[in-house]
Amino acid sequence: MFTTPQGRLIGPTNLTRAFTTLLRKAVLRRIRFHDLRHSTAALLLEQGGEPVVIKKLLVHAHIGVTATVHAHVRLRLQCDAIDTLSTVLVGPEVTKRVNGEGDEPPSCAALVR
């Protein structure tokens, strides 16, 4: 729920208009206001936030919604865990991540023997 400085409710259309104006002034690409929920969940997951807590913050009805919507973050975290284990087992010179582009999760560089 968002309000004006006078305490009146801001309707969805006006909120979208104000958000779009802020993005334009900040020279950021246009996104939906709803996309901020996804960014919040992704950042919390990447920082080790518990999915159950994130589910409650986002008011998802089921944990499966949280898990499904943010699966790409979990894949990246899994790759990070594999790379960390590989570094411990075989050394840092062997474990070099291949940087991915776009929405695909990065590939894990750990050697499998």
78 and 42 together in one domain:
no
Q: Do residues 43 and 57 both lie within one domain?
A: yes
50 and 87 assigned to the same domain: no
Total domains present in the chain: 3
| Comparison of pLDDT for 75 and 12, the residue scoring more | 12
- Indicate whether 74 and 112 sit together in one domain: yes
**b vs e for 19-34, b when ≥16 Cβ sit within 10 Å of the residue's Cβ?**
beeeeeeeeeeeeeee
pLDDT computed for residue 64 by the predictor: 81
Range of the domain at 19: 1-33
**pTM as predicted:** 0.55
**Same-domain pairing of 110 and 79:** yes
Across the range 48-77, mean pLDDT stands at 80
Q: Are residues 82 and 113 in the same domain?
A: yes
